[in-house]
A and B are shown apart, each in its own frame.
Chain A
Amino acid sequence: MMRLMRGMAEAVAPAFLPCGDSALVLQLGDCIDARVNADIFAIAAAVDAAAIPGLVEIVPSYRSLLVRYDPEIIRGRELEQRLAGFSRPGEGAGKKGRGWSIPVVYGGEVGQDLEEIAAMKDLSPEELVSLHSSVEYRVFMIGFAPGFAYLGGLPPILHTPRLQKPRQYVPAGSIGIGGQQASVNSVAGPSGWRFIGWTPIRVFDPQRAAPFLLAGGDRVRFTSIDPEAGERLAARAAAGETVIEPEEAA
């Protein structure tokens, strides 16, 4: 949706911005745009592969890439020169992310905002569920909390402002809506987002060999399941079983 609203005039030239003495930012834009985001993840993959000495880590986000470095090994100015070659990926440079189908038990205690949001939108709860599970979401970035995925692609009618007063406790696995974004909460904690259901899938599990389920650029669909099926899957997940597998990148 955001891409359609974006005109050429909004395109911003790649820029290097200083971020203190041990990090810099490569910025490709200043808005939420799937194409800009795909370019960021393409650059991130290329930078990873280049293994530049002194580069400590990278953090890709919606529209920029943070690069942390060790100034005892490489200075910011030199690093910018090394990175300049990565800042204009070719068309289709980014590989398509993995596709995930995440089962959701809509409504209930965790999804306590389902009926209220439906009423706000003049929808039945069933229509809301059908809209929420009708589209493919893009993982724009992982941030805020361990494994927390910012999902873009929420149908515009479901865009809903955050709560005035955040709730102090929202369990891991809650399915949320915050503004134009959707989420699967990765850890329990306070949140001002609104919640319409829960998933038995653990998007973050530090005990697992691969603790983080989702990655930037991945695609996500939600499918409605009944509470009994949810409990069965939750028990399997608790026993350490792999409950869902991605559809591999095309």
Chain B
Amino acid sequence: MSVEILAAGPMLTVQDAGRKGLRRFGVSTAGPMDGPAMALANALCGNASDAAALEFAGMGGRFSASCPIRFAVTGGDCDIRVEDRRVLPGESNRLNPGETLKVGAMGDAVWGYIAFAGGIDVPPVLGSRATHLRSGLGGFQGRALRVGAILPLGEDKTVDRCLRLANPLAPEAGGPIRIVLGPQDDYFSVDIIARLTQTEFTVTPQRDRMAMILAGAELPAARGHDTVSDATVPGSIQVPGSHQPMVLMAESQTTGGYPKIATVITPDLPRLAQLPVGARFRFAVVSREEAEEAVIARARTLRARLADLQAKPEGVLQSEYLLSCNLISGVFVSEEFVS
């Protein structure tokens, strides 16, 4: 059982929930840029939330499978086709041998996920299948996927049904990206801390799985931009000598020597990651307690959502399918009506 890459969008990598507990050895967590989206893709395929799936930036690629499988695409609105049949993101669908799955451009998001039932079964490295591009660790040969790569799939032990959410996903609430000040906010004057929340920031093209560099306001540190290196977390907002803040993301290094003015709260980090280049947003300071409450609430919501998947009716004509068909030009064989 395997999946072959027939065309690869940029930054197509194998990711799972990430490497745990190894930051003290210099090993980045890696894992998804949008963890809840990847967990949903896995759940729609009946996989555990830490199963390995594909992450892509902007555009997915083309794929074929050696056996009949189910797959799901999440992250945002996306043009997904099996041959010429359009299927929806946010639900699982079937792919048969000989068919090509095409995952096009994300309309409203940056990072997308393609899960396959059984999960991608590349060998774990240091306890995880996540690709860490900078150190060439894990995933498929430690690198982004290119045409011709063949990915082994794990055994699919679940009931072979296609799933979808019982209730469609509500659009992600907008509003400011919430931060907790520190740990080195004392490197900055009161005025500069105020600038952090009073100015609109812009997502620049200098972004990858490691960090996002922001434009819009300069944040000079009164006590300088070199500290004795200490540990970082995904969400740390470092301010280097350029005075341009840099938010560390999933693949960030584990330690850094720039003062960290604040930390993006865990539930808002995927939302920041999904903002396109040029998007403008503001930061809002919340207390650590408020941030913890938000983490707990988000975790409960996500668990409830993943527990509330329902089997898709199959073998009947679905309106999405009809809408995607060219009803004028031809006759369909009956198998094609099974979405």
Question: Contact residues of A with B, CB < 8 Å?
Answer: 17-23, 25, 27, 30-32, 44, 56-64, 66, 68, 71-72, 75-77, 141-148, 150, 186-189, 206, 211-212, 216
| Known A18-B182, A20-B288, A72-B295; 7 more pairs at CB < 8 Å | A18-B181, A56-B20, A71-B292, A147-B25, A148-B26, A186-B26, A189-B134
Q: Is the CB of A143 within 8 A of B231?
A: yes
Q: Given A72-B296, A144-B253, are A18 and B26 also a contact pair (CB < 8 Å)?
A: no
Q: Is the CB of B183 within 8 A of A144?
A: no
Cα distance, A36 to B86, chains bound together (Å): 61
Question: Is B266 at the interface (CB under 8 A from chain A)?
Answer: yes
Cα distance, A145 to B132, chains bound together (Å): 11
Cα distance, A66 to B184, chains bound together (Å): 13
Q: Is the CB of B26 within 8 A of A66?
A: no
Residue from B125, B181, B235, B288 with most neighbouring chain A CB atoms (10 Å): B288
Cα distance, A105 to B26, chains bound together (Å): 25
Q: Is the CB of B265 within 8 A of A21?
A: yes
Cβ-closest chain A residue relative to B230: A61
Cα distance, A143 to B324, chains bound together (Å): 51
Q: Is the CB of A143 within 8 A of B26?
A: yes
Instruction: Report chain A residues within 8 Å CB of B253.
Output: 143-145
Cα distance, A109 to B241, chains bound together (Å): 33
Nearest CB on A from B143, distance (A): 13
Cα distance, A30 to B259, chains bound together (Å): 12
Residue from B125, B182, B183, B291 with most neighbouring chain A CB atoms (10 Å): B183
Q: Given A189-B134, A189-B135, are A21 and B26 also a contact pair (CB < 8 Å)?
A: no
Task: Select one of B135, B227, B265, B295 contacting A30, CB under 8 A.
Answer: B227
Q: Is the CB of A145 within 8 A of B292?
A: no
Q: Is the CB of B23 within 8 A of A57?
A: yes
Instruction: Report chain B residues within 8 Å CB of A19.
Output: 180, 182-183, 233, 236, 260, 263
Cβ-closest chain B residue relative to A211: B126
Cα distance, A211 to B228, chains bound together (Å): 26
Task: Select one of B20, B125, B135, B236 contacting A187, CB under 8 A.
Answer: B135
Question: Contact residues of B with A, CB < 8 Å?
Answer: 20-27, 125-126, 134-137, 180-184, 227-231, 233, 235-236, 253-255, 260, 263-266, 288-289, 291-292, 294-296, 299
Q: Given A20-B291, A21-B291, A71-B295, are A144 and B254 also a contact pair (CB < 8 Å)?
A: yes
Instruction: Report chain B residues within 8 Å CB of A23.
Output: 233, 263
Give the total number of A-B pairs whose CB atoms are below 8 A apart: 143
Q: Is the CB of A17 within 8 A of B182?
A: yes
Cα distance, A27 to B134, chains bound together (Å): 29
Q: Is the CB of A212 within 8 A of B135?
A: no
Cβ-closest chain B residue relative to A23: B233
Residue from B181, B231, B289, B294 with most neighbouring chain A CB atoms (10 Å): B231
Nearest CB on B from A6, distance (A): 12
Cα distance, A5 to B181, chains bound together (Å): 32
Q: Which 10 A-B pairs have the closest CB atoms?
A: A143-B255, A20-B263, A66-B231, A17-B183, A21-B291, A59-B231, A71-B292, A61-B230, A57-B21, A18-B182
Nearest CB on B from A44, distance (A): 8
Q: Is the CB of B229 within 8 A of A76?
A: no
Cα distance, A1 to B184, chains bound together (Å): 26
Instruction: Report chain B residues within 8 Å CB of A27.
Output: 183, 230
Q: Is the CB of B126 within 8 A of A59?
A: no
Instruction: Report chain B residues within 8 Å CB of A68.
Output: 23, 233
Q: Given A143-B254, A189-B134, are A25 and B25 also a contact pair (CB < 8 Å)?
A: no
